[in-house]
């Protein structure tokens, strides 16, 4: 069963967010979503400097089987993107909460987020 990292918060659209309140927030997709998508072969990320809005699409993640929109869980400005996942998208499957992070945002406002427990209860992952 897909792992859910207990220290992170999650959106209903299966993005995770790591925010300590000080620096920018790091955003990725949950293992539940990565498993459901299958082997990821292409990822389209927002550009550095782009404004993202909580709950709105900001890119897409494509696997051999399907394609899915990427929703930003927060509102703010993109300050960094992970070039590793652009050139090697499989990292999102193998390490979704680590090397497979997607982008970082200087957050002005968070969207509705769930705790790991709430997300696991709704999506059947394993804490």
Partner 1 sequence: MTENHTALYEQHKKAGASFTDFGGWQMPLKYSSELAEHHAVRRSAGLFDLSHMGEVWVTGPDAAAFLDYALAGKLSAIAVGKAKYSLICQEDGGIIDDLITYRRPSSEEGSEKFLVVPNAGNAPVVAAALAERARSGKAGGFDVVVEDASAETSLIAVQGPNAEEILLTLVPAEAHALVTGLKYYAAVEVGITVNGTAQDLLLARTGYTGEDGFEIYIPNEDAAGLWDALLETGAIRGLIPAGLAARDSLRLEAGMPLYGNELSREGNAYAAGLGPVVSLAKESDFVGKAALTEIKSAGAGTTTRRKLVGLKGLGRRAARGHYPVLKDGAVIGEVTSGQPSPTLGYPVALAYVDVEHAALGTVLDIDLRGKTEPFEVVALPFYKRDK
- Residue ranges in contact with partner 1 by CB under 8 A: 35, 38-39, 41-42, 44, 60, 62, 64-67, 90, 93
Task: Return the number of the residue (59 or 73) whose C-beta is nearest partner 1.
Answer: 59
Task: Return the number of the residue (35 or 77) whose C-beta is nearest partner 1.
Answer: 35
Task: Return the number of the residue (76 or 89) whose C-beta is nearest partner 1.
Answer: 89
Query: Rounded distance, CA 67 to CA 116, Å?
Result: 25
């Amino acid at each position: 069963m897909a792992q859910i990292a207990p220290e992170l918060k999650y959106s209903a659209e299966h993005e995770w967010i790591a925010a300590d309140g000080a620096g920018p927030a790091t955003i990725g997709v949950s293992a539940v979503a990565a498993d459901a998508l299958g082997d990821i072969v292409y990822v389209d990320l927002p550009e550095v400097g782009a404004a993202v809005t909580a709950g709105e699409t900001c890119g897409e993640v494509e696997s051999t089987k399907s394609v899915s929109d990427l929703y930003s869980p927060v509102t703010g400005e993109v300050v960094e993107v992970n070039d590793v996942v652009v050139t090697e998208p499989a990292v999102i499957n193998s390490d979704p909460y680590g090397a497979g992070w997607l982008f970082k945002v200087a957050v002005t406002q968070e969207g509705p987020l769930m705790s790991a427990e709430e997300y696991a209860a709704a999506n059947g992952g394993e804490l």
